Amino acid sequence: MAAVDLSAHPGHLARRLQQAHYLLWNTMVSEEITSPQFAVMNALVAEPGLDQRTVGERVGLDRSTVAEVISRLGRRGLLDKVRDTQDGRRFLLRLTDDGMRTHRRLTVRTARMNQVFLAPLSAEERTVFFDLIQRVSDAAEELRNPEEPLAVSS
């Protein structure tokens, strides 16, 4: 049996890409705040007062992961949960002042990190790269609903 050419396997390439991102994130952005934590913070900067479920949908995290991320950010004093006055079962999320300061600081660092991460690509290639990876990511989100048939195109 011959070895498989993993350079033609998107999952393998996505894992390698994620490893590179993780390395750059830890060295250039933060060892304390993870990329998913930053994504949650960013969602709350864009739309303060979202509930946990909506935050998870906005940043593409499953329920248990977003719950853990929110718990960690809360323990660090970076976000507050406030009971929704309209629905006592829901909590609305807002960044604290420290959370806002942390987000501002990390935003500058993520911009620098993205420059390094994308340095091998020309401006035109970056546009194509973002378009393609967005399309694949959007399609992958649809896989979360197993009741709908998978559409395969060539």
What CATH number is associated with residue 100? Answer: 1.10.10.10
Q: What is the pLDDT of residue 81?
A: 93
Q: What is the pLDDT of residue 38?
A: 98
CB of 70 within 8 A of CB of 52? yes
Q: What is the pLDDT of residue 138?
A: 86
**Residue 33 backbone dihedrals phi, psi, to 5 degrees:** -100, 125
**Residue 150 backbone dihedrals phi, psi, to 5 degrees:** -75, 130
Within a domain: 7: no
| Average pLDDT across the chain, whole number | 92
Within a domain: 6: no
123 pLDDT tier (thresholds 50, 70, 90): very high
| pLDDT at position 39 over 80 | yes
Within a domain: 9: no
Within a domain: 148: no
Q: What is the pLDDT of residue 88?
A: 84
CA separation for the pair 15, 131 (Å, rounded): 19
Q: Considering the entire predicted model, what is its pTM? A: 0.86
